Amino acid sequence: MVLPGLIVDISEGGLAFFYHEEDHWPQDSAELFTLFGERCNVEKVSLIPTYDAEVTDTNHPIYKILADQKGDPSKIRRRGVRFGTLSKEQEAGLETLIREYHSTRS
């Protein structure tokens, strides 16, 4: 399954992302997800939820980006997850994604 939404923070321990409530993110998921970057994808990553909250600030820039993707108003949520056990290949891919993410935010 492809991770829904927009990643806003990523580290070696986990990540945070915004998503549309209609994307029906499972509360307890045994599914494995693919994380996409510009130059690198990391497949079959276990994501363990740590928090999930509705974003009520409609002036938040990420809220506006995601709300513009839908023709009708929808609830936007922010979710934090930690990574499950990663293989050496997944760890290397994750390091590449982190470098890529941080280089685009500078």
The topology (CATH level 3) of 6-105 is Thrombin, subunit H (2.40.10)
Which pLDDT belongs to residue 77?
87
Cα distance between residue 106 and residue 69, in whole Å: 25
DSSP secondary structure letters along 49-102: EEEEEEE--TTSHHHHHHHHHSSS---EEEEEEEE----HHHHHHHHHHHHHHH
Answer with the residue of higher pLDDT: 25 or 52. 52
pTM for the structure as a whole: 0.78
Which pLDDT belongs to residue 57?
85
Which pLDDT belongs to residue 4?
67
- Give strand pairing partners of 42: 35
Q: Is the pLDDT of residue 2 over 70?
A: no
Cα distance between residue 44 and residue 89, in whole Å: 11
Coil, helix or strand for 16?
strand
Q: Is the pLDDT of residue 92 over 80?
A: yes
The predicted-structure confidence for 32-63, as pLDDT tens digits, reads as follows 788 877 778 888 998 898 999 988 888 888 87
Domain boundaries of the chain, sorted by first residue = 6-105
Q: Is the pLDDT of residue 80 over 80?
A: yes
